[in-house]
Amino acid sequence: MSEDLQKKNADAKQRQARKIKEANQAAASEISNYQLTRKNEDFIYQLQKQLKEQGAKADKIPGMIQETVKSLQEGQKSGKTARAMYGTPTHYAHQLIHPDTNKKPDELKTSSFPQLALDNTIMLLAIFTIMYGIMGLLPNNSIGKLKVNGAAGITAIVIISVVGGLTFGYITKLMEPVKDETTGRWKKRPVGMRIGLTIAAFVIWLLAYLLVNLLPNVINPVLNSWIELVIGVVAILGDIYYRRKYHIVGSAFSTRQPNRRQSRK
């Protein structure tokens, strides 16, 4: 009896081994149709195994594999390998099974560009109107004696505030990590690009500041100093209300900034 039982167990193991071998051969045959490099084919094969071992739902695995294959096919055109794009099959399988890890961390999120631009614009308007309002009240005030009102005129102040709001909003979004569509990972833009675009944005703002000095007084009047101060105070109060209502995060003048320190953990 014991010999029969041993024989049956041996036969069962052989059948199981054959099934595994046939399944592996079928998987290898299917992978070979993807027109991937040998290293990338091996990555897909190992990824399939890891997805099964890590408990991925059987009906979800084909879709995960197909999406990965498409990305690899695109990556191959520029010489990228699966390991460079995704790391190890074990790590990438975990990311696919737990997609929340691919989402942008909440501590890195800032408000939308229009919200940031508007917040910055209102605050710049407040800063310039209060500044010129105070200057206009000082003894020996020379603003009212200007032949060309330039940056002290209300039209110039509005233009400078709008351009500055757009510029600072753009810089804030520029500093945000971006998602690599190939790997699905969040990363910062190249340092050189960030520095170059930031400098370009500031140059645009400075040019706007210089150009408004060419505006004729008839369309760029200097307001009464007290009116300017009132505009500045109303702008500050309005911006405080706006920030609280829409929970503005990341503005150049806001105290609520993304938690960059936590994002490094």
Q: What is the pLDDT of residues 163-194, one digit of tens each?
A: 999 998 888 888 777 766 555 566 777 788 88
Task: Give the pLDDT of residue 219.
Answer: 92
Residue spans of the domains in the chain: they are 2-102, 106-263
What is the percent of the chain with per-residue pLDDT over 90, rounded to a whole number? Answer: 22
What are the b/e assignments for 99-115, b being 16+ CB within 10 Å? eeeeeeeeeeebbeeeb
pLDDT digits (tens, 9 = 90+) for 114-169: 998 999 999 999 999 999 999 888 877 666 566 667 888 999 999 999 999 999 88
Q: 186-187 and 178-179: which strand pairing?
A: antiparallel
Mean pLDDT, rounded, of the chain: 77
Q: Tell me the C-alpha distance between 264 and 204, whole Å.
A: 32
pLDDT at 2: 58
- DSSP string over the chain: -HHHHHHHHHHHHHHHHHHHHHHHHHHHHHHHTT---HHHHHHHHHHHHHHHHTT--TTTHHHHHHHHHHHHHHHHHTT--HHHHH--HHHHHHHHHSGGGGSPPGGG----HHHHHHHHHHHHHHHHHHHHHHHHHSTT--GGG-SS-GGGSHHHHHHHHHHHHHHHHHHHHHTS-EE-TTT--EEPPPHHHHHHHHHHHHHHHHHHHHHGGGS-GGGSPPPPHHHHHHHHHHHHHHHHHHHHHHT--S-TT-S----HHHHT-
> How many CB atoms are located within 10 Å of the residue 32 CB?
12
